[in-house]
A and B are shown apart, each in its own frame.
Chain A
């Protein structure tokens, strides 16, 4: 069964520290996305990628980097974690096609202290 797997499921990070969130998909999808979920803000796009070795900025990229070393893997990197980055992060993949929908991972709950 096609799947998107995120790790870790939850993490506590120290302000100023580096955090890497990982996402792995077995869907053979070209597109991958990182969203953050916050109460009152819904799901907001941070970075996305449509091919390996290339990433694009989403709507709220500041403070985040992304890496797509292969079709299957897509990481979100917080070089200097800040309190405002406390949120739930979702990775999703999508195949090419106008009405293709997302397959979401189970989310990573990040607490920055």
Chain B
């Protein structure tokens, strides 16, 4: 079945260093839709990025990701971490079929330290 893997549960960085959060997925659907959601403490999870286009870079709010269907990956990156980036990040895959449901990874907590 469909699945999303985020191997890192916690990533701790010093402010100013680059960010890379890993996401890989499995699906039989050739037209996969991938999403990154960010969840700040005491707020609602909200969309950060989404893509269904192979090898096209998608950017928003300083973050970027490129969907690589050949490696089933959609890693989230940022050139320079900020303290305000500290949050829980979810990678998600739109499941096959017509349910519209998203399958989420376990999430990666990003902690940015001064």
Contacts and interface: CB of A to CB of B under 8 A. Distances in A.
Interface in A89-113: 90, 94, 96, 98-102, 104-107
A7 B99 CA distance: 25
Given A40-B106, A99-B50, A45 B101 contact: yes
B44 A48 contact: no
Contacts of B35: 101
A105 B44 contact: yes
Interface residues of A, number: 26
A107 B105 CA distance: 18
A31 B100 contact: yes
Contacts, number: 54
Nearest to B105: A42
A94 B102 CA distance: 10
B64 interface: no
B90 interface: yes
Contacts of A45: 101, 103
Interface string B34-52: 0101000001111100101
Contacts of A106: 43-44
Contact of A90 (B9, B45, B47, B100): B45
B99 A48 contact: yes
Residue among A48, A100, A102 with most chain B CB within 10 A: A102
A61 interface: no
A59 B40 CA distance: 25
Given A44-B104, A101-B35, 8 more contacts: A40-B9, A42-B106, A43-B104, A58-B101, A90-B44, A99-B52, A99-B94, A106-B44
19 contacts: A4-B44, A42-B90, A42-B105, A42-B107, A48-B100, A50-B100, A58-B101, A90-B44, A98-B33, A98-B52, A98-B94, A99-B50, A99-B94, A102-B45, A102-B102, A104-B45, A106-B43, A106-B44, A107-B44
